[in-house]
Amino acid sequence: MTVVRREKRRRWAVVAAVAAVLVSLPSVLSALAPAGAAADAAKLRDLVLDSAGRPYQGYAESAGSLALPELPNLAAVTALFSMRTPMRVWYAGPDRYRVDILGTAGEHDLYRLPDGEYTWDYGDNTLTELIGEPAVRLPRAGDLLPPELARRILGAAHGDPVTAL
């Protein structure tokens, strides 16, 4: 056996060993991960529904793909369901939060404080106080945040039986 053949076999053995390690790595990592207790579906639903008072902050994106026409005075609502909406949120509780809709030219903010609700338009440099509750409340970007959306969906089916998938 020549030196060249021996080196060729050694190189291919290294390639095969690296490939075997890469193929088996996900299985090894999943076996090493700690096993969590199986969550009871009803308990998980109750935890989500009771989470309205838990503070959080973060970034979320809503990606709508409905082909809605542009309607005058409803552009913000149709954009929620037909475009990508990047949002930042600071949530201290149901009566104190801030949701920012981020855009290329600035941001549109909704502030909820114990004394009222306000919108801020960075591009127009306007602060508007929202007085009273509208007869029909249109969807807002904050309604599409994961915690709020989960509470709305699970709240609509509160008495229904649930099972784990």
Cα dihedral across residues 155, 156, 161, 163: positive or negative = negative
DSSP H/E element including 47: helix 41-49
Q: Residue 87: what pLDDT?
A: 94
Per-block average pLDDT, block size 10, for the chain (165 residues)? 79 91 87 73 88 93 85 83 91 93 89 93 91 86 90 86 80
Q: Indicate the length of the chain as a whole number.
A: 165
Q: Residue 123: what pLDDT?
A: 87
CA distances from 51 to 39, 55, 102, 146 (A): 17, 9, 25, 12
Angle at 33 between CA 29 and CA 35, to 5 degrees: 145
Determine the straight-line distance between the first and last CA of the chain, rounded to whole angstroms: 59
Q: Given the DSSP bridges, would you call strands 56-63 and 84-93 parallel, antiparallel or unpaired?
A: antiparallel
CA pair distance 138, 144, nearest whole angstrom:
12
pTM of the model: 0.67
CA pair distance 9, 5, nearest whole angstrom:
6
